[in-house]
Homo-oligomer: A and B are copies of this chain.
Amino acid sequence: MNRAEFGFGMNKSDKLKNEIIENFGTPCAVIDLDIVERNIERVQKICDDAGVANRPHIKTHKSPIIANMQIKAGARGITCQKLGEALVMADAGITDIIVATNLLGAARSGSLSALQRRVALKVCADNPVSLTLYAEAARQADRVLDVLIECDTGQKRAGVETPGEALALAQIIKQDPWLDFAGILFYPSLDSWPETQVFFDEMSSGLAELGLTAKIVSTGGTPNFVNIDKLNGATEHRAGTCIFNDLMMIEAQVASVEDCAFNVYSSVVSRGGENRGILDAGSKTLTTDSGDLDGFGLILEHPNARIDRFSEEHGFLDLTKCNHKPSVGDIVRVIPNHVCVTVNMFDQLVAVRDGQIQSVIPVAARGKLV
């Protein structure tokens, strides 16, 4: 007895899979617009309730269309990680942009000054070399550049590690006619918010002595929404992953499977014996970024299948724990471990709503490495 005889006709999900593969082939990146919109509203409400502005990080979706959906829902502006991303967003009419990293390559290639001529950017620095390059770019653009100081309170990523270092940079900014002090950028780990408060308070006193105030005090990260009201003085929050969510966000207990808007549709292209299967989504599609999770993604149709390892264009499945195993030709939907790096492998997202294909959204800022 096959499924149809048992009373299961082709359901909406099967119909969509066929439409996806017939129109786009596999692997294909698909987003559910209902979930995207729900995620946008949810995040905006969290920020509104906490009284901080929402400044989504576009590194996750890299799409001006989605950035404008976020702004329309109430976001103050956007965060980018690359000057090239900011350029794509500016071309779409978005002008309130923080670029949240030291921009050395873009400053020295002239692309920073070129964009600064068009849009008053807010950039970030954690060292004097960046400030020297920024001042030169601002001079070339003939427009003063707003600079935030990036501060590290325990993550050991970018950022100065003491208020003293931060204040030394603020002093340089104050003295440079081409730079304006715009504020402070934090990325606290989940448990370093008290330390962040101490850092911020000490820095605020020092800034007051310099006659400066931080107009922007930015915190970041999707898992940190649970801490959104914990830094007294914060003015805005920037988070990226929450637009789509992924297995890392489920692991961090800030999302459930129903909140994951992004799937890779992939074909089962081979079966190697009883307990092996092969997807047409490999490391060039899902990426090897495990996010410290077990396996490389959740297959919605076969949650007990483990995406075990990759070649470049194949995902190798361990089906040992599956009672119902996939067949060659089946199309499955995969939630990736880390959606930000997976979206970045695609040139476009197919947007669906209620099981129907609605539009194709270019990942317009993909590949903007500088």
Interface residues of chain A, those whose CB is within 8 Å of chain B, are 21-28, 59, 81-83, 101-102, 104-106, 108-111, 126-127, 129-130, 133, 152, 156-159, 161, 267, 269-273, 276, 278, 280, 283-285, 287-290, 311-314, 316, 327-329, 340-341, 344-347, 367, 369-370
Contacts and interface: CB of A to CB of B under 8 A. Distances in A.
A252 to B, nearest CB: 16
Contact of A272 (B24, B110, B152): B152
Contacts of A109: 21-25
B369 A272 contact: no
A347 B329 contact: no
A105 B26 contact: yes
18 contacts: A25-B106, A25-B370, A26-B105, A59-B312, A82-B313, A101-B313, A101-B314, A105-B280, A127-B270, A127-B271, A157-B278, A157-B314, A158-B270, A161-B273, A283-B287, A284-B341, A312-B344, A346-B367
Contacts of A347: 367
Given A102-B328, A288-B288, A312-B344, 4 more contacts: A25-B106, A59-B313, A158-B269, A346-B369
- State the majority secondary structure of interface residues on A: loop
Contacts of A21: 105, 108-109
A369 B345 contact: yes
B269 A369 contact: no
A27 B105 contact: yes
A270 B59 CA distance: 20
B290 A104 contact: no
A129 B329 CA distance: 7
A306 B347 CA distance: 32
A109 B26 CA distance: 8
Contacts of A289: 283, 288
A312 B81 contact: yes
A161 B276 CA distance: 12
A285 B157 contact: no
A183 B110 CA distance: 53
A65 B25 CA distance: 27
Contacts of A340: 312
B290 A288 contact: yes
A108 B25 contact: yes
